[in-house]
Amino acid sequence: MPTEIETLQEKLAHMMRAVDDLSEVVARQDGEIATLTRRVEMLMQREAAREVESTGGIVLGDERPPHY
């Protein structure tokens, strides 16, 4: 029968492993978020350039269309 200290040490070991696993997941997700952020910024720049080329100006979200 394990002693109380051994039980606590076992629980601590499991918790430390869980923290390490979660840390790895967070680090990987941080890299993925950074990559996705760069891609979104690049796509936004491309779309802004496309808008400038097609309309001669940047269309803002709150602008009224020309037919108003």
pLDDT tens digits, residue range 37-68? 999 999 999 999 998 888 655 556 666 666 65
**Which residue type does 16 have?**
M
Q: Which two tokens stand for residue 10?
A: 């076992």
What whole-number distance in Å separates Cα of residue 47 and Cα of residue 41? 10
What pLDDT shows up at residue 56?
Answer: 59
What pLDDT shows up at residue 30?
Answer: 98
User: Number of helices and strands (H, E) in the chain?
Assistant: 1, 0
pTM value is 0.62
